[in-house]
Structure 1
Amino acid sequence: MERSPFRTYYLHPRFWPLWFGLGLLWLIAQLPYPLLLRMGRVAGWGLYQFGGERRTIARRNLELAFPQMSEAERTRLLKENFASMGIAFFEMAMSWWWAKPRLAKLAHVEGLEHLRQAQAEGQGVILMALHFTTLEIGASLLGQLHTIDGMYRQHNNPVFDFVQRRGRERHNPDATAVEREDVRTMLKVLRAGRAIWYAPDQDYGRRQSIFVPLFGIPAATVTATTKFARLGRARVIPFTQERLADGSGYRLVIHPPLENFPGESEEADCLRINQWIEQAVAQCPEQYLWSHRRYKTRPVGESKLYAPRTRKRKRSRNVRRE
């Protein structure tokens, strides 16, 4: 996609409150990093207190993934997870607006040679990532060191979409943003020997998935990783990032490429990916995005694992009144 241009339409009065909020966030983001971490934890506490449905979903996911934990242990993990989500809000602002040298000081990178070797050989790379709360800043930090194209989903608000894309694109001057459904462009990028960020750890429905275990529970797992690797003639290189507990920044790890991938079947590949996801999440479970309804699609005949959404319950009560 071409770089997102500024349009005079973005100055319409309807967007003024958003511009004001973004300007305030820009000012706050200039504060020292330790202070932003503390502010993020406070924001996460508020999100936990008033998060309602998000908190319920995350708690349910932790029950499903870690049944061996006590209720008290899961509650502590849940609170830490919301603290991490609060911090992620300020990390987003940092990655968009901090000066590049200031941001670069937070990066502790391992395994960059795997990407550089693939680039030297003209080999396309599926940079297999996960939806950690550190996703935004992790991609920005790595983007300063290596060109990474990204899967992209347009935001509903055009001003926020413009600011978000500009913030991301500044770390990759020649990067390409690929719409999530644009398979043709993604394959073209891979065959051109480029690296593209891709996360296969969410539930995208029955149509493009098969059921394999994730934390011991059948989960709708996308088969696209196998298809992209085969059709794009690309290596799959896992990538993880972690916010360091000592406040010194972020540990970014580019792992060795998956060997013999694709394998014998899509099912075997999906199982292998889910096993890797389990291992990666176990390293810092408090930083994973547990508020996603990961098990919303169920195998035929199996009951749902989440309570109905609040809006649906309200709608059903209205129907009964009529």
Structure 2
Amino acid sequence: MKNNSPAFRWQFLLPKYWGTLLLVALMYALSTLPFKVQIALGKRVGRLVLGRMKKRTNTIRRNLDLCFPKMSEDEKERLTVENIENTGIALFETAMAWFWSDKRVNKHVTIIGMEQLEELEKQGKGALMLAVHSMNLELGARAFGIKKSGTGVYRPNSNSCYDYFQYKGRSRSNRTLIDRRDVKGMIDALKTGKRVWYAPDHDYGRRRSTFAPLFAVENACTTTGTSMLVNASDCVVVPFTMVRDSNDHYTLTIHPYLDEFPKECEQLAAVYTNRAIETSIMAAPSQYMWLHRRFKTRPEGEQCLYAM
């Protein structure tokens, strides 16, 4: 497994990176505010920022139309507004994950189902932690890392200064990171009984992918990486969800591993994985990253599902 840990460089103090340093300083300052204040501010930031980003807001609405054609317009509008607010809250949740103390994280996050991972650990079995891009995923990873070591799959940021702080924030509390291009590193980690956080719910393009149903969309471009990792390492797939409830308390639930995962066929594995993804999203649909153009890659001959 490659060592991806970036080092702080004196060049980060140059004017080129002052904007990045100011952003990180602001994140730290905001993370020190009372929790309820952060949630309230997050909602306002979401409404303010996405209110000016019509393209992103339209993507949220379009995804909901595609996935839930039978949902009432009033329900989709309510879900859209809540999703916009949760997008703003996510900015604060990232700061919480990077800068809060272990004690403060534990106060706001409850973890259920850890005993299942302990049993797999006794068996020396690797666990591919099936994640979805919920808004609070960063905070969930941090809370998990306090209890158990884990390995996250991530994409290094092109801004080397921001990447340094991103890596340091994400690797707190017993968590290491693997570049998403380091497939061998993921397999090695799983083979040695480690837990790898993996989110196959986005559209990653045609390379190493197939088309499988997701909600009401018959052909969603779906990575075949899940089945590849399972077959190469003989690990098990363990879904989990991170949900913030109406009282603003978080619960990270580790669900039973998928004991019927179809190893013999990439296509069946993609269908099976997407069903598990649907279940995870529906645990808190307003907290999912709907602003991503999930269905941008289409089969040959099919038209784009998003307005150009």
TM-score band by shorter chain is: over 0.9
Query: Which deviations, in whole Å up to 9, do the C-alpha atoms of 1:98-126 show, x marking residues without a partner?
Result: 11111111111111011111112211110
CA apart distance, 1:243: 1.0
Instruction: Provide the residue aligned with 1:178 in structure 2.
Output: 178
- CA shift in 2, pair 1:77/1:115, >3 Å: same
Instruction: Provide the residue aligned with 2:278 in structure 1.
Output: 278
CA apart distance, 1:283: 2.1
CA apart distance, 1:299: 1.4
CA apart distance, 1:60: 0.4
Instruction: Provide the residue aligned with 1:233 in structure 2.
Output: 234
| Number of residue equivalences | 305
CA apart distance, 1:2: 4.9
Q: Which amino acid aligns with 1:111?
A: G
CA apart distance, 1:279: 1.9
The structure number with the bigger radius of gyration is: 1
Instruction: Provide the residue aligned with 1:76 in structure 2.
Output: 78
Q: Unpaired segments of 5 or more residues in structure 2?
A: none
Aligned equivalent of 2:44, options 42, 45, 56: 42
Do structure 1's residue 299 and structure 2's residue 302 form an aligned pair?
A: no
1:25-40 to structure 2, matched below 5 A, reads 25-40=27-42
Query: Which deviations, in whole Å up to 9, do the C-alpha atoms of 1:227-279 show, x marking residues without a partner?
Result: 101101111111111112112x2110111111132444222111111112222
State the distance in 1 between where 2:22 and 2:207 align: 41
Secondary structure of the corresponding residue to residue 240 of structure 1: strand
Aligned equivalent of 2:15, options 10, 13, 16: 13
Secondary structure of the corresponding residue to residue 144 of structure 1: helix
Query: Which deviations, in whole Å up to 9, do the C-alpha atoms of 1:142-161 show, x marking residues without a partner?
Result: 11111110101110111111
State the distance in 2 between where 1:282 and 1:5 align: 39
Secondary structure of the corresponding residue to residue 105 of structure 1: helix
Q: Unpaired segments of 5 or more residues in structure 1?
A: 309-322
Q: Which amino acid aligns with 1:198?
A: Y
Q: Which amino acid aligns with 1:207?
A: R
Give the conservation status (yes or no) of the 8 Å contact 2:4–2:178: no
Instruction: Provide the residue aligned with 1:120 in structure 2.
Output: 122
Secondary structure of the corresponding residue to residue 163 of structure 1: helix
Q: Which amino acid aligns with 2:284?
A: C
State the distance in 2 between where 1:125 and 1:84 align: 29
Secondary structure of the corresponding residue to residue 147 of structure 2: coil
TM-score of the two chains, using structure 2 as the length reference: 0.96
Q: Which amino acid aligns with 1:259?
A: D
Percent identity reads 39
Do structure 1's residue 193 and structure 2's residue 204 form an aligned pair?
A: no
Instruction: Provide the residue aligned with 2:214 in structure 1.
Output: 214
Give the conservation status (yes or no) of the 8 Å contact 1:133–1:289: yes
Secondary structure of the corresponding residue to residue 73 of structure 1: helix
- CA shift in 2, pair 1:156/1:2, >3 Å: closer
State the distance in 2 between where 1:103 and 1:70 align: 37
CA apart distance, 1:71: 2.2
Do structure 1's residue 51 and structure 2's residue 17 form an aligned pair?
A: no
Secondary structure of the corresponding residue to residue 276 of structure 1: helix
Secondary structure of the corresponding residue to residue 176 of structure 1: strand
State the distance in 2 between where 1:121 and 1:16 align: 49
Give the conservation status (yes or no) of the 8 Å contact 2:262–2:272: no
Give the conservation status (yes or no) of the 8 Å contact 1:214–1:274: yes
State the distance in 2 between where 1:111 and 1:188 align: 25
Q: Which amino acid aligns with 1:99?
A: S
1:144-155 to structure 2, matched below 5 A, reads 144-155=146-157
Aligned equivalent of 2:64, options 40, 46, 62: 62
Secondary structure of the corresponding residue to residue 128 of structure 2: strand
CA apart distance, 1:70: 2.3
Q: Which amino acid aligns with 1:238?
A: P
CA apart distance, 1:212: 1.1
Instruction: Provide the residue aligned with 2:224 in structure 1.
Output: 223
Q: Which amino acid aligns with 2:286?
A: E
RMSD: 1.3
CA apart distance, 1:24: 2.4
Query: Which sits farther off after the overlay, 193-202 or 278-287?
Result: 278-287
State the distance in 1 between where 2:279 and 2:103 align: 32
State the distance in 2 between where 1:263 and 1:187 align: 15
Q: Which amino acid aligns with 1:186?
A: M
State the distance in 1 between where 2:26 and 2:206 align: 42
State the distance in 1 between where 2:170 and 2:279 align: 28
Query: Which deviations, in whole Å up to 9, do the C-alpha atoms of 1:6-64 show, x marking residues without a partner?
Result: 11111112112221232122112101101100000001111231122111111100100
